[in-house]
Amino acid sequence: MSVKLQKGQKVSLSKENAGLSKIVVGLGWDEVEQPRGFFAPKAKPIDCDAFAILLRSGKLTDNNDIVYFGNLTHFTQSVQHLGDNLTGAGDGDDEEIIIDLNAVPDEYDRIIIAVNIYQAQQRKQHFGMIKNAFIRLVDARNNNEMCIYNLTENYPNQTAMLFGEVYRYNGDWKFNAIGQGTSDNTIGEFAKRYL
């Protein structure tokens, strides 16, 4: 049974899903068609890049703790990005991140899940140009969708998005749907928030 989350809603992952050990974080989006003049150059597709930041005591302590298209697998093997989608074309998840909850070392207490638009400022793109954006968590054992968070708000001039976080609380893994837009232009700029 899937739960539709609202901004700020928290959900327990491990209590309702006994034996849960691995989740898939699926991110998807569709580009909104932009009006163009007859002689206007063809607009570049919007390239959203999903990434995960593993935090120790709520802080980013090493750049190797950022899993993204340039660092597909965390050195602990606990978080893996399955590859870059350059356009958002197609149905379903456009990018996926697999989190092996049992393999996440105890010193990591939080995993931030976010997305930014590649070269957004240079291409004059923002989240107001995207529709049908979502994040969903899937139980990797059986492909059952546990929860989904749809971005239905308009985020003009925002170039990155903190979708949510997976975190430990009293031995239980939980997910918090955040949905906060930012104007960070790169993954590195976004990550500085956690230093």
CA gap 72, 128 in Å, rounded: 28
CA-CA distances (angstroms) from residue 79 to 46, 97, 132, 140, 166?
25, 7, 25, 13, 12
Q: Is the pLDDT of residue 8 over 90?
A: no
pLDDT band of 176, cuts 50, 70, 90: confident
CA gap 72, 95 in Å, rounded: 12
Mean pLDDT of the chain: 83
The pLDDT tens digits for 40-59 are 556 677 788 889 999 999 99
- Percent of the residues in the chain that have a pLDDT greater than 90, as a whole number: 34
Nearest Cα to 148, choosing from 135, 139, 138? 135
pLDDT band of 35, cuts 50, 70, 90: low
pTM: 0.85
The pLDDT tens digits for 61-94 are 999 999 999 999 999 999 999 876 555 455 667 7
